């Protein structure tokens, strides 16, 4: 991945997070986090990976964010100085679960060696 795409990913992540924080009212006790952003090389498409706690609300929140895709597009068009603003697709983050599972396995191995 080029440095330019990495910078764009980081910029989009920050701006989308700010918009979510300031302009969206999620149900109480719901935490929505943008974990990573993947923008295509041609800057036309952008996948935004979201983690939601509690997990029972994940599909509802992601559907809401996907329905508001044009809203994010318009907001970023005003904020960013880019020729092309990508189309956004919000997706459920799966890598966090994988990382937690690896941590759990490493902890079991560590306890096995000590015992």
Question: Which parts of 24-94 fold into alpha helices (H)?
Answer: 58-67, 69-79
pLDDT band at residue 106 using 50, 70 and 90 as cut-offs: confident
> Are the C-beta atoms of residues 15 and 76 closer than 8 Å to each other?
yes
Tell me the per-residue pLDDT of 71-90, one tens digit each, with 9 for 90 and over: 999 999 999 888 899 999 99
> Residue 8 and residue 14: Cα distance in Å, rounded?
10
If one compares 56 and 106, the residue with the highest pLDDT of the two is 56
Q: Mind listing the domains of the chain with CATH numbers?
A: 3-114 (3.30.300.20)
Residues in a beta bridge with 34: 50
Task: State residue 1's pLDDT score.
Answer: 78
User: How many of the other CB atoms lie within 10 Å of CB of 90?
Assistant: 22
Indicate whether 99 pLDDT > 80. no
């Amino acid at each position: 991945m080029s440095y330019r795409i990495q910078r764009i990913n980081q910029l989009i992540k920050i701006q989308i997070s700010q918009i979510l924080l300031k302009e969206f009212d999620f149900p109480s006790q719901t935490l929505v986090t943008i974990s990573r952003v993947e923008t295509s090389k041609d800057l036309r498409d952008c996948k935004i990976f979201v983690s939601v706690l509690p997990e029972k609300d994940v599909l509802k929140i992601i559907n809401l964010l996907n329905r508001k895709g044009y809203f994010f597009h318009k907001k970023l068009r005003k904020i960013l100085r880019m020729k092309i603003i990508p189309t956004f697709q919000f997706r459920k983050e799966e890598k966090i679960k994988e990382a937690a599972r690896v941590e759990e396995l490493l902890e079991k191995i560590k306890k096995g060696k000590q015992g």
